[in-house]
Amino acid sequence: MRIIICDDDPTQRDLARACLEVSAVQHEFTEFELGQDALDHLRSYDADLLFLDMGLPDIERLEVLTQLRKFSELPVIVISGGDTIKSVAEALTIGADDYITKPFEPIELMTRVEAVSRRAAGRRVERSTFTSEHILLDFDRMQAIVRNEKNDLNRTEWDVLKTLLSEPGVVAEYSTLKERAWGSTVSDAAVHMAIRRLRLKLKQDTPENEDDGLVKSHRGIGYSIDNY
């Protein structure tokens, strides 16, 4: 597997390389300190994955990713340090396939590389992250960050979100939500209460503004999420 590591910190480059070298997969590494050098290389040579640091000295923030997406669909994992949810969300919106925060453990890095590789190979896997305005949902870590603050969601709330995001824009009927999130028969009222708690945690006011936030109501039918 041909991997490009673009990070101006040699310690971080060494760490990423060391984490991946312990896996059974054979890797070929090419390293760059500057974003422009990585772009020039990728215009002429193929690779299988790019690790891209969020802060490079020569190109502002995510310009490397923006330029890359003009000529390549190369899978990209963004390496994030002390960046805000806005920066991470912007990276995912521009075209990053995943992100990992410093410091990271070898097993976490290998897991993310494997997941991104499966997606790049065209296998259908569940989306691991979702971003909307002020919201970052990471299903692998079961972590919700709302307006730069971590927010705890319970298992049912994660299952509701996963169901709604499995077919963005399509209304998930009450019966579908009950089956996938609860696995048993519950009342419609229980679904409504769960959605209400979820909206509060996502800082979406209800019921007055229920059609302006992430989770949309379809009275008598179910709920949907349109922003994907």
| Burial (Cβ within 10 Å: 0-12, 13-18, ≥19) of residue 1 | middle
Residue range(s) defining the domain that contains residue 41:
2-125
Residues 107 and 160 in one domain: no
> Rounded to the nearest 5°, which phi and psi values hold at 144?
-115, 125
Domain stop point among 76, 106, 125: 125
Residues 59 and 101 in one domain: yes
For residue 36, tell me if it sits in a domain. yes
Look up tokens 């410093």; give the residue: 102
Other CB atoms within a 10 A radius of the CB of residue 41 amount to 14
Residues 24 and 104 in one domain: yes
Look up tokens 């993310």; give the residue: 112
Domain stop point among 106, 125, 144: 125
For residue 133, tell me if it sits in a domain. no
Half-sphere exposure (Cβ direction) of 102: Cα atoms closer than 13 Å: 19
Q: What angle do CA 222, 167, 88 make, to 5 degrees?
A: 110
For residue 157, tell me if it sits in a domain. yes
183: domain CATH number is 1.10.10.10
- The count of structural domains within the chain is 2
96: domain CATH number is 3.40.50.2300
pLDDT in tens, the chain (228 residues): 899 999 999 998 998 888 888 776 788 999 999 999 999 999 988 899 999 988 888 987 788 999 998 888 899 999 877 656 777 778 887 888 888 888 788 888 888 888 888 776 654 445 577 887 788 888 877 888 888 888 888 888 998 998 998 888 889 999 999 888 887 778 888 899 999 989 888 876 544 555 557 888 998 899 998 754
